[in-house]
């Protein structure tokens, strides 16, 4: 039940922290979240925190004695439709983390790192497992920062051929047709460019006249796709 002494804001909540929990009925904080709320955000007793289960449900809680006490009704937000997917060829250094972080903030639903024929970066099986765990954590943190109530699905690294085999995907490349609402799964190529076989395998869409870095292209296409879905671009 809502707490009568508290005027609860809407879901966007201004500067209030937003935390992912397993169950919004009984919201429990893990040690990392407690540390963040107490030491980084410096919350005081009675401050508001919104919680979500990451699959559409959320509610307001009060932060009391390192725990959460529900003070608002559980609300549910419909999943954005259509689901939007951005695949990106692995890039060097910490750039995959940047791409996942920004695609999460933008509202992309499925994020697919992949290896293309000309990919400079290639991970072995053990690194794929470690990096998938790391990228999922980056996405979780970005979801809390951007107040998402539907968490994106960060896929393990795949091969380009496996992604296009599912159908319905397009590649971003110069000279492609304009991006539109029908393009719900877009792939961004590697720093070395697409191979001839990859160019022949899927239709292409264009996102500008200049040559973009791979990480810039992924963020740009994510921005355009979400804007089109939200009706801000035709």
Q: What pLDDT digit, counting tens, does each position of 34-54 carry?
A: 999 999 999 999 999 999 999
The count of other CB atoms within 10 Å of the CB of residue 174 is 12
How many helices and strands, by DSSP H and E, does the chain display? 6, 12
Stretch 209-230: mean pLDDT, rounded? 94
d(CA 223, CA 11) in angstroms, rounded, equals 22
CATH code (residue 61): 2.40.240.20
* Token pair 């707490």: residue: 3
**DSSP assignment, residue 147?**
T
Token duo for residue 178: 């304009």
Residue pair 25/74 in contact by the 8 Å Cβ criterion: yes
**Is the same domain home to 68 and 109?**
no
- Please report, for the domain that includes residue 207, its CATH number: 3.40.1280.10
In a domain, 54, yes or no: yes
What is the rounded average pLDDT of the residues 191-217?
A: 91
β-strand pairing of 158-159 with 110-115: parallel
- Among 32, 51, 76, the domain-final residue is 76
State the pTM of this model.
Answer: 0.91
End-to-end CA distance of the chain: 42
Residues 74-132: tens digit of each pLDDT: 999 999 999 999 999 988 878 999 999 999 999 999 999 999 988 877 777 777 788 88
Burial of residue 184 (CB within 10 Å: 0-12, 13-18, 19+) is: buried
| Structural contact between residues 25 and 61, judged by C-beta atoms closer than 8 angstroms | no
Host domain of residue 132: 85-229
Q: What one-character-per-residue DSSP string does 41-103 give? A: S---TTEEEEEE-SBSEEEEEEEETTEEEE-S--EE-PPPSS--EEEEE--STTHHHHHHHHH
pLDDT digits (tens, 9 = 90+) for 128-184: 788 889 999 999 999 999 999 999 999 999 999 999 998 899 999 988 999 999 999
Q: Are residues 65 and 160 in the same domain?
A: no
13 lies in a domain?
Answer: no
The count of domains in the chain is 2
> Sign of the C-alpha dihedral, residues 90, 94, 97, 99?
negative
**Boundary-marking domain end, from 35, 52, 76:** 76
Question: What pLDDT does 142 receive?
Answer: 97
Residue 162 lies in a domain: yes
* 43 and 102 together in one domain: no
What kind and span of H or E run contains 138?
helix 125-145
Q: Are residues 71 and 94 in the same domain?
A: no
User: Alpha-carbon distance 36 to 32, whole Å?
Assistant: 6
Of 31, 50, 76, the last residue of a domain is 76
């Amino acid at each position: 039940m809502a707490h009568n002494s508290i005027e609860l804001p809407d879901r966007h909540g201004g500067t209030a922290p937003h935390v992912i929990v397993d169950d919004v009925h009984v919201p429990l904080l893990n040690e990392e979240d407690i540390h963040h709320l107490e030491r980084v955000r410096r919350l005081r007793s009675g401050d508001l925190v919104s919680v979500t289960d990451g699959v559409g449900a959320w509610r307001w809680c009060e932060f009391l004695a390192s725990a959460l006490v529900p003070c608002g009704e559980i609300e549910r937000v419909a999943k954005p439709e259509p689901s939007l997917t951005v695949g990106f060829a692995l890039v060097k250094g910490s750039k995959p983390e940047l791409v996942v972080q920004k695609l999460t903030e933008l509202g992309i639903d499925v994020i697919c790192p992949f290896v293309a024929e000309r990919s400079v970066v290639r991970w072995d099986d053990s690194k794929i497992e470690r990096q998938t765990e790391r990228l999922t954590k980056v996405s979780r943190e970005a979801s809390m920062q951007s107040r998402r109530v539907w968490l994106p699905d960060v896929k393990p690294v795949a091969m380009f051929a496996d992604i296009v085999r599912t159908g319905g995907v397009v590649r971003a490349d110069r000279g492609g047709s304009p991006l539109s609402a029908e393009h719900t799964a877009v792939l961004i190529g590697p720093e070395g460019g697409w191979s001839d076989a990859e160019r022949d395998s899927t239709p292409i869409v264009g996102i500008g006249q200049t040559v973009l870095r791979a990480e810039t292209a992924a963020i740009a296409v994510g921005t355009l796709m979400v804007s089109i879905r939200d009706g801000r671009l035709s």
